[in-house]
Structure 1
Amino acid sequence: MTRPPLPFALVIHGGAGVIERDQLSESEEKSIHADLDAALEAGRRVLADGGSALDAVQAAVVALEELPRFNAGKGSVYNADGRHELDASLMEGHTRRAGAVAGVETIRNPVKLARTVMENSPHVMMISTGAELFADTQPQIERVPNDWFDTGTRRAQLELEQARESAAAHSDAVGLRGKYFGTVGAVALDVHGNLAAATSTGGMTNKRYGRVGDSPLIGAGTWADERCAVSGTGWGEFFIRNVVAHDIAARMAYRGDSLAVAADAVIMERVPGLGGDGGAIAVDRDGNIAMPFSTTGMYRGWIRPDGSRGTAIFAESD
């Protein structure tokens, strides 16, 4: 008798932020679900073939980086100079290996370079020019001109934000809420019982001074260990200050909290308690998943160990 394969689990996100139902047409909403499902399928194929959680989260995030809809890779937002600066990280739970890049401008798939940093260097994180010099030594990393990341939607967002900033020049500082919308990520449990997480982003519209958020920071936007894997999305400064991804894992390790209790406490209480917001996706070693968010919506998709799968945008039942 053939033994059935061990179960696996996969969760992805395409960003949490200000997403209003009345701003999405029926056709656009269907298109979002289709894009999420395509990325989910990219990761599922890896896991169904017995591949590693690390390979699965990379495959899912690469698929999201290639979709202009999301603020990562091709759909990345513009900084104040009208250019794109991209960040990414990934982590393997059972080995605690991790890799990250920040502020890169010519890397088509930053999550691939993050993994290359992890596997082909003695370092965990590289930034900006140095990361690109390292990429020069890695022929498997595809390079593109910075304007390859251009999209009309993101250009319009930059122009709107700069117009708002100019109008507010003599008033109170322009609030950051809503400007961080974006980020993509994936977490997975493979059939070998191993966990991994990956996160990628174009950052914040109209950002200056080389601003870096939580996405490439191990422990803040990305974490994986033997108990769980987490990828965050939201107001990065608050995710950094709360070390969000690691805090979820620590609550499980040191308090004995379940994944759902730990994720809800951090995302729905701790971060909003300091004035931030956002969401996270997580999976534990038993295949339980969590997808809390305190914003109006979070693009997300999931495959549970029982084979059930789905995608969602708003706070309807998962």
Structure 2
Amino acid sequence: MLRYLIAVALAASTLGHTTAALAQTEDSANWAIVIHGGAGVIERGAMTPEREAEYRAAMAAALARGEAVLDGDGSALDAIEAVIHGLEDDPLFNSGRGAVFTAAGRNELDASIMDGATLNAGAVAGVTQVRHPISLARAVMDNSRHVMLQGEGAETFAREQGLEIVPPAWFFTERRWAAMEQALGALGLDIPARPEGAPAAAGVDHGELERDAREHRFGTVGVVALDRAGNIAAGTSTGGTTAKRWGRVGDSPIIGAGTYANNASCGVSATGTGEYFIRLTVASRVCALVELQGLSLQAAADQVIMDELRALDGDGGIVALTPAGEIAWSFNTPGMYRARQSEGGEAVVAIYGDED
């Protein structure tokens, strides 16, 4: 009852908001959402104003998709899917259609999702023909007795589940192909043939290519959401690292490393050098500090990312959210594409390290 009275009082005293928008019953929570689009050497002046505007618009659109689900009393899990679907279809980001290429000239996609209410989770690794890996991860969670599927087996399951299958060339983008060629050249490795069905070769802006190499070194996308039922969920999707070899899998599909959610503590989605995030179990470690040591979410995030991860020479960042609606992000790179919004509040979109 006290929570209800406080909410009503705040609503009555805040211009521009209605009582209906801010007041809540004893059985409901305010929704919240936080998103990242990858971290790296993202510095002011390195991007054209036009490209920066594109990223800000894409992150704002991602928030809007999440808001539409959560404001309609949808679940946190549904919000995760809605947000990441759009990011997986946007060639600006290293997931889905914007995924980087392996040394073999393939797009191998990873994703995971976790429900904080039940601790159920699903993950996929190394898929090449599933348009939305995040939906496949959720299908693994909801419709199988497993947590992680990989490669051809995951794609067989996707077909059985009726998920959208696309030809591998659907994920092709010229700038990612050029980045792979550049990386293989530096390693002294052979350049593979262009994928069947890819468009004819086109020129790329090599200045933009260099910026991409710095900015998208850790080009994962991820979301943590809190719904009005008070449940949190987290999800992550990625194309991995440029010119990765031998079936490499990073932290994104590994529950506890790149993704974690628990209503007893928090939800986390990570982006960074996956090998270090795996070793440190970054996502679950942040939540453990909140639950077991009583740290604030921001303090826990900073301890893991700014201190512990750096001590291992790891780099990257996270976004995080508690069932109480506390939002945090932390990154030890110059920038991270990120956005957040809480019910009744203003949307925040940021890129550089000096932005709130």
Q: Which residue of 1 aligns with 2:77?
A: 54
Q: What is the aligned counterpart of 1:188 among 214, 222, 225?
A: 225
If the length of structure 1 is used for normalisation, what is the TM-score? 0.94
CA–CA separation in structure 2 for the residues paired with 1:281 and 1:8? 16
Q: How far apart are residue 177 of structure 1 and its match?
A: 8.8
Q: Which residue of 2 aligns with 1:73?
A: 96
Secondary structure in structure 2 of the residue aligned to 1:282: strand
Could you tell me whether the CA contact under 8 Å between 1:83 and 1:147 is conserved in 2?
A: no
Could you tell me whether the CA contact under 8 Å between 1:106 and 1:132 is conserved in 2?
A: yes
Gaps of 5+ in 2: 1-18, 190-212
Q: Which residue of 2 aligns with 1:237?
A: 275
Q: Which residue of 1 aligns with 2:47?
A: 24
1:221 aligns with 2:244: no
Q: How does 1:145-294 map to 2 (within 5 A)?
A: 145-166=167-188, 180-226=217-263, 227-294=265-332
Q: What is the aligned counterpart of 2:108 among 58, 69, 85?
A: 85
Secondary structure in structure 2 of the residue aligned to 1:111: helix
Secondary structure in structure 2 of the residue aligned to 1:21: coil
Could you tell me whether the CA contact under 8 Å between 1:177 and 1:235 is conserved in 2?
A: no
Q: Which residue of 1 aligns with 2:6?
A: none
Q: Which residue of 1 aligns with 2:134?
A: 111
Secondary structure in structure 1 of the residue aligned to 2:121: strand
Secondary structure in structure 1 of the residue aligned to 2:131: coil
Q: What is the aligned counterpart of 2:351 among 302, 313, 316?
A: 313
1:73 maps to a residue whose letter is: G
Could you tell me whether the CA contact under 8 Å between 2:298 and 2:328 is conserved in 1?
A: yes
Q: How far apart are residue 317 of structure 1 and its match?
A: 3.1
CA–CA separation in structure 2 for the residues paired with 1:190 and 1:8? 5
CA–CA separation in structure 2 for the residues paired with 1:194 and 1:186? 14
Distance 1:222-1:306 versus aligned 2 partners, 3 A rule:
same
Bigger mean CA deviation after superposition, 35-44 or 2-11: 2-11
CA–CA separation in structure 1 for the residues paired with 2:230 and 2:132? 27
Could you tell me whether the CA contact under 8 Å between 1:18 and 1:295 is conserved in 2?
A: yes
CA–CA separation in structure 2 for the residues paired with 1:120 and 1:256? 35
Q: How far apart are residue 33 of structure 1 and its match?
A: 0.2
Secondary structure in structure 1 of the residue aligned to 2:310: helix
Could you tell me whether the CA contact under 8 Å between 2:42 and 2:215 is conserved in 1?
A: no
Gaps of 5+ in 1: 168-175
Secondary structure in structure 1 of the residue aligned to 2:292: helix
Residues 233-263 of structure 1, C-alpha deviations (whole Å, 9 max, x = no match) = 0000000000000000011111111101100
Q: Which residue of 1 aligns with 2:202?
A: none
Could you tell me whether the CA contact under 8 Å between 2:38 and 2:216 is conserved in 1?
A: no
2:147 maps to a residue whose letter is: V
- Which of the pair has more CA radius of gyration? 2
Q: How far apart are residue 180 of structure 1 and its match?
A: 3.7
Could you tell me whether the CA contact under 8 Å between 2:94 and 2:216 is conserved in 1?
A: no
2:153 maps to a residue whose letter is: G
Q: Which residue of 1 aligns with 2:147?
A: 124
Could you tell me whether the CA contact under 8 Å between 1:91 and 1:198 is conserved in 2?
A: yes
Bigger mean CA deviation after superposition, 18-27 or 82-91: 18-27
CA–CA separation in structure 2 for the residues paired with 1:28 and 1:208? 30
Q: Which residue of 1 aligns with 2:341?
A: 303
2:287 maps to a residue whose letter is: A
Could you tell me whether the CA contact under 8 Å between 2:108 and 2:239 is conserved in 1?
A: yes
CA–CA separation in structure 1 for the residues paired with 2:81 and 2:72? 15
CA–CA separation in structure 2 for the residues paired with 1:317 and 1:208? 36
Q: Which residue of 1 aligns with 2:65?
A: 42
CA–CA separation in structure 2 for the residues paired with 1:178 and 1:300? 13
Residues 111-169 of structure 1, C-alpha deviations (whole Å, 9 max, x = no match) = 00000011111111100011011112111x100111110001101111111122129xx
CA–CA separation in structure 2 for the residues paired with 1:31 and 1:270? 33
Q: How far apart are residue 188 of structure 1 and its match?
A: 0.7
Moved over 4 A (4+): 176-179
Bigger mean CA deviation after superposition, 34-43 or 18-27: 18-27
User: Between Structure 1 and Structure 2, how many residues are aligned?
Assistant: 309
Taking only aligned residues, the RMSD between alpha carbons, in angstroms, comes to 1.7
